[in-house]
Structure 1
Amino acid sequence: MDQRNVTKITTIHLLGFQIPHNITFLVFFNFLVIYCVTICGNLLIITLVSYSKSLHSPMYFFLSQLSVLDIFLITDILPNMISTVLVKKAIMSFSNCLTQFYFFTIAESSECCLLTVMSLDRYLAICKPLHYTLKMNFKFCCILVILCWILGIFVAFVYILTTSKLNFCGPNIIDHFFCDLEPILKLSCSDITAVQFQLAIFVLIFVVIPFLLIIVSYAYILSAIFKIPSITGRQKAFSTCSSHLTVVCFYYGTLLCVYLIPNRGQRMEITKLVSLLYTVVPPLINPIIYSLRNKELKKALKKFTQNCLF
């Protein structure tokens, strides 16, 4: 196609969820509450880990970094989605659409890496307890977190670099609630084979392989737990892993459904709901899961509340 005759897209129309008018305010209010609860819950985790000396350990340091990523992700996605609920169709510039996708990719890729690092931390704590303190020192933990962010930024940069070289000639309507890669590629009139191949490689590296590493690490962890002679010891060891394992199963389960299961012929509303499960729900439930299943976090919250009140 002659590039001089291509009409380039400058604005994007996000359709969001097609919601009946009579329940618009109810859906808007629910999403607003979800956003507020998510921000407050994750800020509470960050505050507790920073405030309580009993939580100054690698496990809780990584948990606080997970909360930072969850706030980063939910802030990139949900405010714009809330506006689409009210106005039915959000209009944004194409550059803003790519920017949203850029930050979304950073958050998702970094979170995949961080969840893998958290499984490594639990593996060393339970399977190699004598070497744990020496290996998982604060400096090494900081290096791992920075590496997660760098990898996320690298993946997002590569995506944006290759996507921006494509020609986008419309239509300029995205039937989704945020700018994900697949809906963006549907607007292109260029050959997208290279970008799709790149997507497959990155999904393999940042989704499939980390998920397999987590499964292997938990196989070793469960084997070590069953070797603990006392029931109390088993319960204590498993309680430190159960929250992370729950988060991993939910997060990776929805990611694998989106990126590995073919969605041709699938209704767009179903795709949107599945996307909602790995963009909005994990940041909401992560603080709840860790708070309900962790006695040390409960104690820190109780002490923090008492100090604030009295």
Structure 2
Amino acid sequence: MGILEELPGINPNSIEEVCLSKNPLEFIISCHILFLLIFSYACFAFADSQSDLRATVVEAFMAARTLEHDVEARKLMTADLEHDYLHKKRISIRVRSGRVVAFDFDPARIVQPNERKFQVDVESIWADLNEQVFATQYERLRFVKVKNEWLADKIEFIRSVPGKKLLPFNVESEKRAKLALAVVKKFMKAVVNRNPKAAIQFTTQEFQTNAGGQEQLEQLLAGPADPHYTAYDLRSLIQKDKKEIEIKAGLYSVRKGKKGVEIIEARLIARQGKTDWNIDNFQLERRSDGESKRNAS
């Protein structure tokens, strides 16, 4: 009676009593109803499992596209899509200019016209080779079943929303601001890549001391392992005094292999020394309003 106990609104004991009844007609009708209930339950369970499978397929493919190299993603493509991915101008240019760093989709909106194919719309966030976000892409993916394995067969870029531009600078000297910004970008790339030793090279001695020494600062800059930082964007640049500039940035945090993204706002202070600019402070302030709602699930 295990499966009967899971059927909503059904009393297994009552069904058992009816099925053991000496009334043949009552017995046949009851068994027929029981069969329909079990069949319906099995169909719903199968549909749910298929829906979960499709969502897993999409998530695995998109997660593979977030990797530094595209080898794993290409394993999940048909031969036609792999060719387009490498050679077709509309797709290959995007791939060469950056990569997907975060993605999201609604499993409930997966459309399956038949047993051999399905499609889904995906929102993907792209960063350039320096880990800086430059656009949000809206894509339509099509998957087909090849030898009982689901493979991506088509990537259609529906529209692209460019990232917000930082210019114009709210600074006294745009030339000095660009020099400071170059250091900030190198620092943020090192933080995203979990390379604290490289990031520390762009910090002031005073910042290292205030953080409790190099070891403590390395722990701060290494960030969490999972969820982890996967990209960043620059949001504002304001001059505080002649040799100090405040920068606001967003750190994109994702769980490995999972859809969703959380954006954490960071505040940096760049200070001009005798020869160049360095980072004099780095603080994680808060989760960005609205954006943090796209949490990894």
Tell me if both proteins adopt one fold, taking TM over 0.5 as the criterion. no
Greater Cα radius of gyration, structure 1 or 2: 2
- Which structure shows the higher helix fraction? 1
- Which structure shows the higher strand fraction? 2
Q: Quickly name the TM-score band, shorter chain normalised.
A: under 0.3
Higher relative contact order (CA 8 A, sep 6+): 1
